[in-house]
A and B are shown apart, each in its own frame.
Chain A
């Protein structure tokens, strides 16, 4: 099924029919998915929750270039699973949707943005690890991804897992955790490193590299968006628990976020968020939510 997003939207005749916010069909789904804003919310004075609730606005850092999780649409608004999680949290804080501002964060500035207060939260395919816990706190995880491999359709090189990458040309992003993982654990793979994954997808489509590796959720987005040029190997070989980054030692806020996450796992809003975003792209049902880690 050679359906690209533009072709699909045209065929369905949904391109902007009465929806002023977006080009795709995704935003329309999201509109129905909006979580009711907690207008009655009240918090103990002096807490971050009370401050945000008072201000009626929150700034959330997210990725703008990850299909399914955080991706900028042509009208300039980000959409994806991370974005929906942000909206759920904002709603529980009693912040109306127009009070939620999304700011683009990249791997290099996520910690700095939290530390200097540019953003209140970072929800950006942000793997919880010990080095990062030194400088920021994490709520969650709210999703567990794993590093996987994307190959050209039909898998001409017969790559089934990371061990098959030896001698192959593998594409990833310079400075990313997946790239470092390959460098240290699979040194026989030839790394080609760009600054963004969309260039990796171009390189794979042109046959300039044999495989692309990063977290499976990012790869599924690329597969879904690539006509039928790519396929996922589907054999994740790491665990990447995605967390919500916040200021270090703000334990009350972290507990609140963990409560909100658990609530969303229970009441179906987490699943709805998945279905409207990553699930809509890949056509996969929502997985079991992970267990929140109150470290």
Chain B
């Protein structure tokens, strides 16, 4: 127990890094994911193909591999990122965006077809149909799955520990030479750090879902 108190500053710093990494990756993934979803429902077949290829490629690649290519593959293309924090962040953004895209796309498809038809009947072009009529309505059904993508993202950020980002899980590696008894406590502390983020997020998602169910 005392080992937990001794290393509290370390754990808190790790927790903060996990939070920063997750929030920034979340913002990036939302932006990229929305663009990808737009591509996937767009009138241009090649653009749809591009979106589809991206999602299929990323979704079928282990995140660790994505991390590796962002950290050590990009320099082979002479693309230098300022630090390994940025390559880790980019890996999480690119990976999570594929899932954000799919969540939004199924949300778009859940909007009653009559809505889009009515908008088109009013003479709206694709951009307006999507941006002003369909997406605002899709948001509601999309929030629970996006919430789940957020939870998964927070947990996935633990892989960054193997790529030179000193977040929460890295604390466990750093203290791996400690005695086994001490490690149990550190491990529990690290797990608690994730639970503090993921459990409330999970509750928020299911509350929102229940409210949604009533509204329907």
Q: Which residues of A contact B166 (CB under 8 A)?
A: 174, 193
**Of listed B84, B161, B170, residue having the most chain A CB within 10 A:** B84
Q: Which residues of A contact B163 (CB under 8 A)?
A: 194, 199
Instruction: Identify A193's interface contact among B71, B75, B164, B180, CB under 8 A.
Output: B164
Q: Which residues of B contact A194 (CB under 8 A)?
A: 162-164
New contact pairs (16) apart from A112-B180, A203-B164, CB-CB < 8 Å: A107-B177, A111-B179, A174-B166, A175-B173, A175-B174, A175-B177, A177-B177, A193-B166, A193-B174, A194-B162, A194-B164, A195-B161, A199-B162, A203-B71, A203-B84, A207-B75
Q: Which residues of A contact B183 (CB under 8 A)?
A: 108
Interchain CB contact under 8 A, A208 and B174: no
CB distance from A67 to the nearest CB of B (A): 18
Task: Indicate with 1 or 0, residue by residue over A167-199, a CB within 8 angstroms of chain B CB atoms.
Answer: 000010011010010000000000011110001
Interchain CB contact under 8 A, A199 and B176: no
Instruction: Identify B173's interface contact among A111, A192, A195, A206, CB under 8 A.
Output: A195
Instruction: Identify B75's interface contact among A108, A192, A208, CB under 8 A.
Output: A208
Interchain CB contact under 8 A, A108 and B162: no
Determine whether A101 belongs to the interface, using a CB cutoff of 8 Å to chain B: no
Q: Which residue numbers of A lie inside 8 Å of B, CB to CB?
A: 107-108, 111-112, 131, 135, 171, 174-175, 177, 180, 192-195, 199, 202-203, 206-208
A170 to B75, CA, bound (A): 18
CB distance from B130 to the nearest CB of A (A): 41
Counting from the closest, the 7 A-B pairs by CB-CB distance are: A206-B75, A108-B176, A175-B176, A174-B173, A195-B162, A202-B72, A175-B173
Q: Which residues of A contact B177 (CB under 8 A)?
A: 107-108, 131, 175, 177, 180
Interchain CB contact under 8 A, A203 and B72: yes
A192 to B163, CA, bound (A): 9
Within 8 A of A (CB), among B140-197: 161-164, 166, 170, 173-177, 179-180, 183
CB distance from A225 to the nearest CB of B (A): 16
A171 to B163, CA, bound (A): 11
Interchain CB contact under 8 A, B170 and A111: no
Q: Which residue numbers of B lie inside 8 Å of A, CB to CB?
A: 71-72, 75-76, 80, 84, 161-164, 166, 170, 173-177, 179-180, 183
A272 to B9, CA, bound (A): 49
Q: Which residues of B contact A203 (CB under 8 A)?
A: 71-72, 84, 164
A53 to B27, CA, bound (A): 62
A111 to B182, CA, bound (A): 14
**Can you list 21 pairs linking A and B with CB atoms under 8 Å apart?**
A108-B173, A108-B176, A108-B177, A112-B180, A174-B170, A175-B174, A175-B175, A175-B176, A175-B177, A177-B177, A180-B177, A192-B164, A193-B164, A193-B170, A193-B174, A194-B163, A199-B163, A203-B71, A203-B84, A206-B76, A208-B80
A208 to B163, CA, bound (A): 12
Instruction: Identify A199's interface contact among B72, B173, B175, B180, CB under 8 A.
Output: B72
Interchain CB contact under 8 A, B72 and A111: no
A83 to B55, CA, bound (A): 45
Q: Which residues of B contact A174 (CB under 8 A)?
A: 161, 166, 170, 173-174, 176
Q: Which residues of B contact A199 (CB under 8 A)?
A: 71-72, 162-164
CB distance from B127 to the nearest CB of A (A): 41
**Of listed A193, A194, A195, residue having the most chain B CB within 10 A:** A193
Q: Which residues of A contact B75 (CB under 8 A)?
A: 206-208
Smallest CB gap from A106: residue in B? B176
Interchain CB contact under 8 A, B176 and A192: no
A203 to B174, CA, bound (A): 20
